[in-house]
Amino acid sequence: MKTDFTIAQLADPEIDAANTILRNCVHCGFCTATCPTYVLLGDELDSPRGRIYLIKNLLEQNKPATNKVVKHIDRCLSCLSCMTTCPASVDYMHLVDRARAHIFDSFSRPWADQMLRVLLALVVPNPGVFRWALIGARLARPFRALFPGRLKGLIGMAPKKIAKASLVDRAQVFACEGKRCLRVALMTGCAQQVLRPAINEATVRLLTRHGCEVVVASGAGCCGALVHHMGREIEARIQAKTNIGAWEKVIEDGGLDAIVINASGCGTTVKDYGWLLKDEPDWAERAKTISALTRDVSEVVTDLDLKEFIADTRPVVAYHSACSMQHGQKLTDGPKNLLTQAGFEVVSPGEGHLCCGSAGTYNILQPEIATRLQERKIGHLKATGADVIATGNIGCLVQIAGGDWGKTKAPPVVHTVELLDWATGGPKPSGLP
């Protein structure tokens, strides 16, 4: 793609990086076939190729974003399916992130939209606040029809039961069983420890059972993905630096073999800290070090020898590969192989490359499109006839479990590590028959 940035514009490292990405695009359109919003809407501007043209003009002109540009950029899920498909290796992820930052700096959103985004940025990354917000939303459920627009949908999404805070999520060290083979730090996350604390508990049991000393670092918190995808770059960098500092202290205290993340959306972001902080001299190399240590829990467990299968039943598992897992981190077969190795029969739903509609806060900010994708995904999962659904990302888990399954009883939706933990001696995941 031909670009027309000025020499002065290219002196900005962010624009220079965007220029390189734009010039790699060859307009082939392969990306359109795997883009969820283009598949649903059929609008060229809701395809990666169309958005790339919008972003090119936006950055070249260096003017405030228009309503048209914001509409189509906001509709992007950042599922990154286009990057898996692209034959030219266009780095769409970093390009759309640059566009979102430009929109945040230059565009004045309607008051209600702006307040909702501020609310999400304040509440979701803070587990204590998020827990109280969910309790309030649960109490408001009978009156949700009285609330306006997306706030009504947000209240409707609140779980009927909110689990108690888990002791596992406190800063501490979990000793391994038997001889230690690895020392790892577990990122306990923000939304996940509120919505499904059993995932972190299962992760700790699984890792310690297989010879890993697990450290929950003091001071580590949200990965920064939520604010980053809203274009709030300063907040995202602050959260990244906080985590880097927390994990560096663990490294100083006794070294680390890996930073383990069991929410693939977070993993994609932390693995990208090196890029996020590349232009800050005091942080660039430190961020690269942390990114290089970061691994999805399935990657770590793959390198360990799974203990003998203990659970006496083997339900059929439909594995839903989160976009951040298969497209963001390029991890496709590992989780499925682990489940098969543990004795489960694993099936894959149709259109496995398409997003379920969760995409961080997308299901809140773009509820109509998210619901259509959710219904499409549930239809394919139904067709597998599986007894249980497994995934490696909390957003997908909540989105699929909370959908409309019609007259069919919804199968339990669990995290992959919950099944692996059960298979090797842990408790049966909640909801399994």
Q: What are the tokens at 88?
A: 């030219």
pLDDT score recorded for residue 149? 67
What is the DSSP code (8-state) at residue 168?
A: G
The DSSP code sequence of 297-316 is HHHHHHTS-PPPP--S---E
Residue 125 to residue 79: CA distance in whole angstroms: 20
Cβ atoms of 248 and 287 within 8 Å: the answer is no
Cβ atoms of 274 and 291 within 8 Å: the answer is yes
Return the domain boundaries, the chain: 7-106, 111-156, 167-302, 316-423
Say whether 167-302 and 7-106 share the same fold.
no
Domain 7-106 class, CATH top level: mainly alpha
The tally of CA atoms less than 13 A away on the side-chain side of residue 60 is: 12
pLDDT score recorded for residue 279? 93
Strand pairing of 172-174 and 212-216?
Answer: antiparallel
pLDDT score recorded for residue 277? 97
Angstrom CA distances, 259 to 223, 287, 423, stand at 12, 13, 24
**CA atoms 246, 323, 104, 31: torsion sign:** positive
CATH topology of domain 316-423: Rossmann fold (3.40.50)
Cβ atoms of 37 and 91 within 8 Å: the answer is no
- In the chain, % helix, strand, coil (3-state, to 5) comes to 55, 10, 35
Query: Helix H segments across 183-282?
Result: 191-195, 198-209, 225-228, 233-254, 264-270, 273-276
Ranges of residues in the chain whose predicted pLDDT is under 50 = none
pLDDT score recorded for residue 172? 97
Q: What are the tokens at 229?
A: 């995808």
- Helices 394-401, 367-384: axis angle to 10 degrees equals 80
For domain 167-302, the question of CATH label 3.30.43 is answered with no
pLDDT score recorded for residue 146? 73
332: helix, strand or coil: coil
Residue 40 to residue 34: CA distance in whole angstroms: 11
Q: What are the tokens at 51?
A: 């958005």
pLDDT score recorded for residue 58? 97
